[in-house]
Chain A
Amino acid sequence: MERGRAMEEKRLDRSPWARFRADRRAMVCLFVLCLEILAVLLLPSLLGLEPNASDLEAGFWAPPSAEHWLGTDDVGRDLLARLLSGGQVSLFIGLSSAAISAALGVPLGLLAGYRRGGWEFWIMRLADIFQTFPSIVLVLCLVTLVGPSALNIVLVLGLLGWTGIARLVYGNTLAVREQEYVLAVRALGARTGTILRRNVLPNVVSPVWCSIPLRAGRAILSESSLSFLGFGIRAPQASWGSMIQYASNLTVLTSRPWVWLPPGLCIILTVLCLAGIGDGLRDALDPRFHS
């Protein structure tokens, strides 16, 4: 009993990275995600795969073979090459849009929570307005307006995803701004920017680190939904979502599982890994969670 408590205390005393490493599930998720990223970045060039070239000799909708491990699509393109190339796009969309959401949500949440008054009213009402619309409908409208490309989807998903992060930071800032150390710094005449950067931000940001992987996973799913609805990235570029779109055809769904199963599994795996990493970060960064 004593030994267990001592070990737990020792664990809490360690750095966040050491605490994260101690979480076996989070480490497995991180390992799998890194492996996935390396695979989508390196395998196409290592295996000499060309995602947009048709192999007319293999034919359209060819089943898996030695030449095409995952078969070919409706235009005779290698499905493995498209899975890897699609992974680059999907992961880029997921991670970049989460970064944009955080870059917007953190300062807005800080300002709303610390300055309160007009800042609080306008920023939080804006967040309310954004959250009033069904997100997929809003995303669909905006993507239709700006045109479907990977960059535009990143921007739309990133710009619309700030509200959750802002609310998280806002709530924590409301609590932290009344802490004695913040009041003391303010009494000493420190500028707002300095207080926010040095005293408030470090104490409210840990849940954001946890929400970023989850946000990235949600963005990958949103891109998949957009692609499934035909509003995804521009042809002939592939994404996991656009590959799953083939499953909307009854024949493909029922008799060609090799076409839609791999991208589906990749999405599930990635989202699970991101969720696992998020949980691990929460455990490692948030001291209150341990107490």
Chain B
Amino acid sequence: MRRLIALLLAAALTLGLTACGGEEQAAEPVTVRYGLSNAWDSLMPYNSPSGSNYTRIICDKIYDRLAYVHADGTLDPRGATGWESADDGMAVLFHLDEKAAFHDGTPVTAQHWADTISLITDPNCPALGRGTFSVLAGTDSNGCALEGERLGVEAVDEYTLKLTFKSPTTPEDFLLDKNRELYVLPTHLLADTDPAEVMELDLWDAPVGSGPCKFVEEIPGSQLVLEVNQDYQLGCPDFDRLVVTVIDKSNLLPSLISGDLDYYAFGGNVSVEDAETARASGLEVAEGEVPNTFYELMLNCQTIPSAQVRRAIDLALDKEALCLQSTQGLGEPTATDVTPGAEYTCSLTWQRDVEGARTLLEQGGYDGRTYSLACTSNRSGLAALMQQELDEVGINVTIETVDSAALFSGMADGKYDMAIASHTPGALPLWFTASRLSESNNIFHIADLEPYTYYIDQISASAGWEKRQVLLDKLQELLADQRPFIPLWFGRTLHVQSPTVDNIDYPSSSFSNENIWAWRMKGA
């Protein structure tokens, strides 16, 4: 009898455990494992000290933006279903998607957008990166709202947002330039908060946004677990969770090959040589068609005050060899920051001229001093090549290997004489110069910005391609004459395709947005 009872109990226990296991298996969420080589520094999009693409690509998941920007410069609706110019080009009306809602179920209205912009431009709010809003009427050059002036943002009705600018701006120009830095915040949860204390809220530790993913949990600097927003207005993918893990850059591709990752940002970028390894491991690799990197040599015009010496540095560099070393054939040397293939062009050409460089050095009174050249560790080979080329014309350089943040702060503080930097290029004529040649970000330490800002303001204020192109040519001539920075090359990239996820718009990832709502699991 006792044996029978024991047998029955064992059978019941086994059945119970089997049932539990079955239930657990059924509830296991489908997860996409996403690799990122650097950590985000904030989950509050207007409180990122670095303002890096790593933070942007994370905020892109949690918060919504007005539009989706493709790598080729075309735009798709996102938070806004459409847009149109108003007030003779001085304003833009955004028609918001009525289906958009925050993760707590509150509908996203034009008032949320207006309140977000009012909050961030409030001088009492310790927001970072509000320079984005300096194009709006009623703000200063830092993007702070001016007292006594009307801020250029208005909720015309529940789902129409109006932005008014300081100078005529097309919706496309605005979105191409600013969309990646413009997010809507859950201002209904901030109603009674003092703007000065808004960054201190616990809300940003477990943020509520209206983007395609909901926050679940975070191990700061290491891992972020997100859940798919089933109610996102553009649809939702066929998986449940997105787990973002910070993995060293050199381990991203091996992790994809070994099956530890499904995808890595940005767009599964891979070098030409690593592409061969990826192909050999059975992964597909596609070539990007649009330039997605722009390399420049930043110069400190205070410590290299002579334009002749700066031009000599330009002539001394063998951009062809540098470009080949860096892109392995997927790039084009350039004499300008105007993006090739975009609407605007520049006729300036580049040529190495060692003798010309030596002559310019003499004319510029180069005294043989040693310049410091800052670069990140992965570009030390590039810096070494530059050092040899500059040495050939008689310019002495020492290389300082630092991290990216130290490089930019060092240039801003005037610690370094030169630095190698790269950027994601844009289709607009002023994508680079407008932000670099301004009083708020005079990173090249130019003594007199007025000649540059004159053309920049003129181009911004001009309507029509022809007039802008003429002004742009003049600006580029001025830049070539003064050389506050040296454009090096535009590079394209290769994208390793995810072995498990379909429909990823790989090239657009470099522009800090990903169409995650359209991603589909392969074979699902």
Contact = CB atoms under 8 A, between A and B. Distances in A.
Interface of A: 52-54, 56, 60-61, 73-77, 148, 230, 234-236, 248-251, 254-255
Contact of B377 (A74, A230, A255): A230
A131 B199 CA distance: 40
Contacts of A254: 277
Nearest to A245: B377
Interface string B74-107: 0000000000000000000000000000000000
A52 B387 CA distance: 10
Contact of B388 (A52, A148, A250, A255): A52
Nearest to B378: A230
11 contacts: A75-B381, A77-B384, A230-B401, A234-B398, A234-B400, A235-B384, A235-B399, A236-B399, A251-B274, A251-B276, A254-B277
Contacts of B399: 234-236
Contact of A255 (B277, B381, B387): B277
A54 B250 contact: no
Q: Most B CB atoms within 10 A — which of A77, A234, A249?
A: A249
Nearest first, the 3 A-B pairs at minimum CB distance are A235-B380, A236-B384, A230-B377
B401 A60 contact: no
Contacts of A53: 388
B254 interface: yes
A75 B385 contact: yes
Q: Most B CB atoms within 10 A — which of A54, A60, A74, A75?
A: A75
A56 B253 contact: no
A250 B254 contact: yes
Given A75-B381, A235-B399, A255-B277, 18 more contacts: A52-B387, A54-B385, A60-B324, A74-B381, A75-B385, A77-B384, A230-B401, A234-B398, A235-B381, A235-B383, A236-B384, A248-B250, A249-B250, A249-B273, A250-B250, A250-B254, A251-B271, A251-B274
B246 interface: no
The B interface, classified by DSSP as helix, strand, loop or mixed, is helix
Contact of A250 (B274, B380, B381, B387): B274
Contacts of B383: 235-236
B243 interface: no
Nearest to A254: B277
Interface string B256-284: 00000000000000010110110000000
A12 B516 CA distance: 78
Interface of B: 250, 253-254, 271, 273-274, 276-277, 321, 324-325, 375, 377, 380-385, 387-388, 398-401
Nearest to A252: B273
The A interface, classified by DSSP as helix, strand, loop or mixed, is loop
Contacts of B250: 248-250
A84 to B, nearest CB: 17
A230 B398 CA distance: 17
Contacts of A235: 375, 380-381, 383-384, 399, 401
A251 B401 contact: no
A232 to B, nearest CB: 9
A76 B254 CA distance: 26
B273 A61 contact: yes
Given A148-B401, A235-B401, A236-B380, A249 B388 contact: no
A73 B381 CA distance: 9
B273 A52 contact: no
A234 B401 contact: yes
A247 to B, nearest CB: 10
Contacts of A54: 321, 384-385, 388
Contacts of A74: 325, 381
A250 to B, nearest CB: 5
B241 to A, nearest CB: 28
B115 to A, nearest CB: 42
A50 to B, nearest CB: 10
A279 B184 CA distance: 69
Contacts of A56: 321
Contacts of B380: 235-236
A249 B253 CA distance: 10
Nearest to B328: A60
Contacts of B273: 61, 249, 251
Nearest to B398: A234
Contacts of B382: 75
Given A249-B250, A250-B250, A250-B254, A75 B384 contact: yes
A98 B320 CA distance: 45
A157 B516 CA distance: 48
B475 to A, nearest CB: 34
A251 B277 contact: yes
B38 to A, nearest CB: 14
Contacts of A77: 384
A255 B388 CA distance: 28
A53 B383 CA distance: 13
A52 B274 contact: no
Contacts of B375: 235
A73 B271 CA distance: 16
B325 A75 contact: yes
Contacts of B254: 250
Contacts of A148: 401
Nearest to A74: B381
Contacts of A52: 384, 387-388
A60 B381 CA distance: 11
Q: Most B CB atoms within 10 A — which of A148, A236, A250?
A: A250
Contacts of B400: 234
Contacts of A61: 273
A15 B376 CA distance: 54
A235 B398 CA distance: 8
A236 B373 CA distance: 12
A60 B325 contact: yes
A54 B276 CA distance: 25
A66 to B, nearest CB: 23
B277 A250 contact: yes
Contacts of A249: 250, 273-274
Contacts of A60: 324-325
A61 B272 CA distance: 13
B122 to A, nearest CB: 37
Contacts of B271: 251
A236 B400 CA distance: 10
A77 B385 CA distance: 10
B387 A236 contact: yes
Nearest to A246: B381
A53 B274 CA distance: 25
A252 to B, nearest CB: 8
Nearest to B272: A251
B270 to A, nearest CB: 10
A276 B384 CA distance: 38
Nearest to B273: A251
A175 to B, nearest CB: 48
